[in-house]
């Protein structure tokens, strides 16, 4: 089924995507309106070309994809890497926020020649968003009975040990009764 999209629908979709990308770039510290408009137009045109070639997703998503591609390429070039993995890329995106790049170096996001200090700090920034994994040895050890439990079953005082068991169990039972009375009483 080949649907025809009217010009007004395309314009509305373009405007919504443009507003979303513009607010995103503002949040990332791109204060220059003309630069933002140029980047957005480039990304949305690429998104429209993808849509014309058969992509079914909304233009807003395609525009955000193009922004993500531009950001990935910029970070790879900036950090002198061949290609960042997904988790490393996410860490670097978070790193931009951690070093407060959008406020300390306004206009440096996706800039061809960002400040050297920003690049250095971004390279040094280490974001640990995953738990540290380590190899542990699973060696069985003898069960260490707590001194309270040992006292219960110990019979060197001539007692059977059940008196100590009562002392251990009475306070929790009393607390439970008091709680139940407070809730339903």
Strands (E) in the chain, as ranges, are none
Does 87 or 72 have the greater pLDDT score?
A: 72
For residue 80, give the nearest of 32, 30, 123 by alpha carbon: 123
pLDDT at 38: 93
Residues of the chain with pLDDT > 70, as a percent, come to 66
Residue pair 59/14 in contact (Cβ under 8 Å)? The answer is yes
Least confident of 37-41, 51-55, 99-103, 149-153: 149-153
User: Has residue 166 got a pLDDT over 60?
Assistant: no
pLDDT band at 2 (very low <50, low <70, confident <90, very high): very low
Does 117 or 152 have the greater pLDDT score?
A: 117
Residue pair 36/23 in contact (Cβ under 8 Å)? The answer is no
The tens digit of pLDDT for each residue in 10-19 reads: 788 899 999 9
């Amino acid at each position: 089924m080949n649907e025809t999209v009217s010009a007004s629908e395309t314009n509305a979709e373009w405007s919504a995507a443009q507003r979303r990308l513009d607010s995103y770039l503002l949040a990332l510290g791109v204060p220059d309106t003309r630069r933002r408009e140029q980047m957005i137009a480039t990304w949305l045109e690429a998104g429209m070309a993808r849509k014309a070639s058969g992509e079914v997703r909304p233009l807003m998503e395609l525009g955000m994809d193009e922004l993500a591609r531009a950001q990935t390429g910029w970070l790879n070039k900036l950090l002198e890497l061949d290609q960042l993995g997904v988790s490393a890329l996410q860490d670097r995106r978070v790193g931009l926020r951690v070093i407060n790049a959008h406020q300390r170096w306004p206009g440096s996001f996706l800039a061809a020649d960002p400040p050297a200090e920003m690049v250095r700090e971004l390279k040094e920034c280490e974001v640990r968003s995953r738990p540290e994994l380590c190899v542990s040895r699973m060696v069985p050890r003898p069960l260490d009975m707590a001194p309270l439990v040992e006292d219960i079953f110990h019979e060197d005082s001539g007692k059977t040990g059940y008196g100590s068991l009562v002392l251990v169990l009475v306070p929790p039972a009393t607390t439970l009764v008091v709680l139940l009375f407070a809730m339903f009483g």
